[in-house]
């Protein structure tokens, strides 16, 4: 390698960027790393408009780190004795043809204002201000960086040019750190300091998204012909760096910053006291069906406490509310549910959740009730899916039969244990569910007489999850066998139905 690439003699040589080579290990290392770069390749890249940080990424044999970012393009030129300071200053103010300003800490903000940071700490401070505006509570974070495809394409073109001209050089064979990974190297430590948080695979993510300025704003969009020529040059191994070898970009990227918290979950059990309340929002032709929904009455109270963007409601089964005359309440011990909150800014304390629970339970209309409301971690889905096959439900139904209820009917029904029934998909839901035949189990039944009414009785029953109770009573035109009607040998109809318990696994 030419002598100009070697460090100047003497340990006390002064450096043109103000560094002194003796007494400062970092400064000495940076100086030696810069002077070890291939001078011809550095001159070529500087003349093409490649920034100093991209030069270190592409040419240096040392691993890219934040120390190397202290070297400016003018310093490189000075060490290589290649050009005057005025020309260097002009080059430094332009947008790098490879990273498009990303590693120069230059970008346009949401208002199309040009922002230029002097160093990683300054850049991190700007990012921190925008993150704090979002109002998130966090003690750790993950950093994601997205860059436009143009950066990768231009870097590929530059590397192709270097390989054509300096193919025998060992530094070309080393793996190159990407622009987005290089940015993380430069700003991650300053971000940890300015945010006062550690960096890990956190549930809180900061996403830096760089997008190319519009072609109209640049006035330099790549034509189809230019793109085809550049691709042909690459395929043919062309070593000439023509004006069409890379996409010309004259403006730095637009930077948008988005913060996202992984969903958090709250569990509990709900009660539905009104037959005119659906489990989830029920809208038909833009018209609300029912008075309200469990989903809205619970989720609508939890979401503001989390300062989240939105929520999803999940429950262990559901109660019927449809066009039929039989609407179902949820009583007894309540039905297990989860509220999933997206991008929450804070996690309410248990005291706050208790207050939300009391607010719902003391509401004037008393449509819905809640108990055991709490924050729950990653085990939430395991809880909801646990033992689906073994999950049992208990019901209370008012049943009418075509003849008077006799004592032998009560004894006959109560004696049936673990009764196996076959159910085809009910007629009432065939329009939205596949026509299947399922075996279900009625674990036990108990009959309670209704005073003063010989044709009515209260039926308590415990069934396997997924059993169609209405159809078990009336038989659904023979689609459920046996049914209460076939067991009693007469017509049977269900008048009212309530869920009284939902048992999950060992609960």
What is the rounded CA–CA span in Å between residue 194 and residue 444?
64
> For the chain, how far is it from start to end, CA to CA, in angstroms?
76
Contacts (Cβ under 8 Å, ≥6 apart) of 429? none
The CB-side HSE value for 424 (13 A sphere, CA atoms) comes to 11
Phi, psi of 464 (to 5 degrees): -70, 145
- 312 conformational bin, left if phi > 0, alpha if psi -120 to 50, beta if neither: beta
Q: What angle do CA 334, 340, 341 make, to 5 degrees?
A: 130
The CB-side HSE value for 245 (13 A sphere, CA atoms) comes to 21
DSSP state of 5: G
Contacts (Cβ under 8 Å, ≥6 apart) of 294? 270, 272, 277, 278, 279, 280, 313, 315, 337, 368
Contacts (Cβ under 8 Å, ≥6 apart) of 447? 405, 409, 410, 413, 414, 457, 458, 459, 460
Q: Bridge-partner residues for 461, per DSSP?
A: 395, 445
Number of residues that make up the chain: 507
Catalytic annotation, pick one of 129, 181, 215, 320: 320
Contacts (Cβ under 8 Å, ≥6 apart) of 422? 437, 438, 439, 480, 481
Q: How far is CA 451 from CA 6, 162, 448, 457, in A?
A: 106, 96, 9, 9
Does the annotation count 320 as an active-site position?
yes
Q: Bridge-partner residues for 51, per DSSP?
A: none
Residue 281 has a CB neighbour count (10 Å cut-off) of 15
Phi, psi of 474 (to 5 degrees): -95, -10
- Mind telling me the catalytic residues? 320
């Amino acid at each position: 390698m030419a002598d100009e690439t070697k460090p100047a003699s003497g340990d006390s040589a002064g450096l043109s960027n103000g560094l002194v080579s003796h007494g400062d290990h970092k400064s000495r290392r940076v100086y030696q790393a810069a002077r070890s770069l291939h001078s011809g390749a550095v001159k070529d890249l500087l003349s093409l408009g490649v920034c100093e940080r991209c030069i270190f990424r592409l040419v240096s044999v040392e691993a890219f780190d934040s120390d190397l970012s202290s070297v400016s393009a003018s310093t490189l030129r000075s060490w290589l004795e290649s050009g005057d300071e005025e020309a260097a200053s002009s080059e430094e103010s332009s947008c790098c043809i490879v990273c498009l300003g990303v590693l120069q800490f230059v970008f346009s903000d949401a208002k199309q204002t040009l922002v230029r940071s002097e160093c990683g700490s300054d850049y991190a401070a700007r990012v921190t201000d925008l993150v704090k505006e979002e109002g998130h509570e966090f003690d750790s974070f993950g950093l994601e960086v997205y860059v436009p495809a143009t950066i990768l394409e231009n870097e590929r073109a530059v590397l192709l040019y270097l390989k054509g001209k300096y193919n025998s050089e060992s530094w070309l064979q080393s793996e190159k750190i990407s622009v987005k990974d290089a940015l993380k190297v430069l700003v991650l430590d300053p971000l940890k300091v300015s945010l006062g948080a550690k960096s890990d695979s956190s549930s809180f993510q900061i996403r830096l998204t760089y997008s190319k300025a519009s072609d109209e704003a640049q006035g330099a969009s790549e034509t189809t012909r230019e793109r085809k020529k550049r691709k042909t040059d690459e395929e043919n191994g062309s070593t000439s760096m023509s004006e069409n070898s890379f996409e010309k970009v004259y403006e730095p990227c637009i930077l948008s910053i988005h913060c996202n918290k992984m969903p958090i979950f709250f569990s509990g059990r709900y009660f539905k006291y009104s037959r005119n309340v659906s489990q989830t929002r029920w809208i038909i032709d833009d018209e609300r069906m029912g008075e309200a929904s469990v989903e809205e009455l619970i989720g609508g109270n939890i979401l503001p406490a989390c300062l989240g963007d939105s929520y999803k409601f999940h429950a262990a089964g559901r109660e019927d509310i449809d066009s039929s005359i039989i609407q179902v309440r949820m009583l007894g011990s309540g039905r297990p549910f989860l509220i999933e909150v997206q991008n929450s800014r804070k996690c309410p304390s248990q005291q706050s959740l208790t207050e939300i629970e009391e607010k719902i339970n003391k509401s004037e209309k008393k449509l819905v009730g809640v108990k055991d409301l709490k924050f729950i971690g990653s085990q939430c889905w395991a809880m909801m899916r646990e033992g689906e096959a073994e999950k049992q439900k208990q019901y209370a139904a008012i049943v009418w039969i075509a003849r008077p209820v006799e004592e032998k009917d009560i004894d006959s029904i109560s004696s049936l244990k673990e009764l196996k029934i076959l159910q085809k998909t009910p007629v009432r839901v065939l329009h939205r569910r596949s026509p299947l035949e399922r075996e279900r189990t009625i674990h036990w039944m108990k009959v309670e007489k209704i005073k003063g009414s010989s044709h009515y009785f209260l039926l308590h029953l415990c069934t396997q999850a997924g059993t169609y109770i209405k159809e078990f009573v009336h038989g659904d035109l023979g689609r459920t066998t046996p049914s209460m009607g076939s067991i009693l040998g007469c017509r049977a109809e269900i008048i009212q139905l309530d869920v009284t318990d939902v048992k999950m696994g060992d609960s």
